[in-house]
Structure 1
Amino acid sequence: MMNIWYLHGFRSSAKSPKVNAMQQAFPSCNVQGISYTPHSPVVAEEILINEYEKLIGKDDDLIVVGTSLGGFWARWLASELPIKSLMINPSLHPDNTLETGEFSVYGEFNEMIRVTDKDLHDFNHYKVNQEPYGQSEVVLAMDDEVLDSYKTVKELEGIYPIHKFETGTHRFTEFERVFPIIEKMINSR
């Protein structure tokens, strides 16, 4: 069976509407949002590797779809494991783009995230400096108001296939536009 994980970005959660949209679009796949702490690298690594180890030994494939900081982790996983990943508006340098402090989770009342200097420093240990081990692709909304899509193109061009969309903003609205890309990844076993 094909497994599809959704890795949410900073201030989001595994309950993202994108998970439900993929479950409806790909009913024959096991689609799940992974609960992890994308802003805390050491904890995120432990959770993601533990989740992956639950799949080891099964004759299943895995596609990891990640948005923003989730794209950072999707890229890292694909550099470490034989998986496929789709990075949507990936945050390539969270050590530079995130700020320290306390932040509320979108749509989740009473849940706070704390980002420390240590967290930002720890991201340096997870930056990808080699070709991907698995198959990876990138989706960019060129009107991203949070991250500079043109810098992302410059950094990733020639390493991964890049799909550019003129609109979508950072949160990548009209998420269903990535479904043909995911469908192609499912069918390219």
Structure 2
Amino acid sequence: MNIWYLHGFRSSAKSPKVKAMQQAFPSCHVRGISYTPHSPVVAEEILINEYEKLIGKDDVLIVVGTSLGGFWARWLASELPIQSLMINPSLHPDKTLETGEFTVYGEFNEMIKVTNKDLQDFNHYKVTSQPYGECQVALAMDDEVLDSASTAKELEGIYLIHKFDTGTHRFTDFERIFPVIEQMVGK
């Protein structure tokens, strides 16, 4: 069993959430995927290449993604027979991201650049049909970055939605999501 963590914008594969999941799910191969979530064409290439490495081995995969990582977790489940958990997903990064240069949290020397082309390219990756795989959603209803009520309304009736009163955008007290992941692992 493989669990991937897809970080959000300005984060990295070194997120503490990866270590927390490794400790909580020691029988699973848990790893953070190093990719460029803000650059759709590059992100697709990296994620598909990583998936192809699993084929023929232990190809059972659960993808957990936060914010922009949730966008990519949803897209992967629309393309592949996987399970995904979107945490406070950014459903419309073409509208919610800004262009410019940004530092990565905790990575003082790393800069990322978002261009108008990146924002336009997101439109090619928006999910408009039923997923091939299975998706679930976890929302912190006090998300200060994305409107969780609007996200819930948009995804209602499509995916199972788990609502949490608190957690903010970064989903603090991340271990509260572990029962959902545990249920997915048990399938």
When normalised by structure 2's length, the TM-score is 0.99
Structure 1 residue matching 2:45: 3-state secondary structure: helix
Structure 2 residue matching 1:140: 3-state secondary structure: strand
Shift of 1:58: 1.8
Supply the AA of the counterpart residue of 1:180.
P
- The 1-side partners of 2:93 and 2:80 are apart by 21
1:94-120 residue CA offsets vs partner (Å, 9 max, x unmatched): 000000000000000110010000000
Shift of 1:60: 3.1
- The 2-side partners of 1:152 and 1:61 are apart by 28
Alignment of 1:148-187 (within 5 A): 148-187=147-186
2:136 is the alignment partner of 1:144 = no
- The 2-side partners of 1:106 and 1:19 are apart by 15
Identity %: 84
RMSD: 0.5
When normalised by structure 1's length, the TM-score is 0.98
Structure 2 residue matching 1:71: 3-state secondary structure: helix
Counterpart position of 2:7 = 8
Counterpart position of 1:67 = 66
- The 2-side partners of 1:46 and 1:125 are apart by 14
Q: Which segments of 5 or more consecutive residues in structure 1 lack a partner in the other structure?
A: none
Alignment of 1:56-95 (within 5 A): 56-95=55-94
- The 1-side partners of 2:148 and 2:27 are apart by 33
Q: Which segments of 5 or more consecutive residues in structure 2 lack a partner in the other structure?
A: none
Shift of 1:64: 0.1
Supply the AA of the counterpart residue of 2:133.
G
Aligned residues: 187
1:46-98 residue CA offsets vs partner (Å, 9 max, x unmatched): 00000000001124310000000000000000000000000000000000000
**8 Å contact kept, 2:141–2:148:** yes
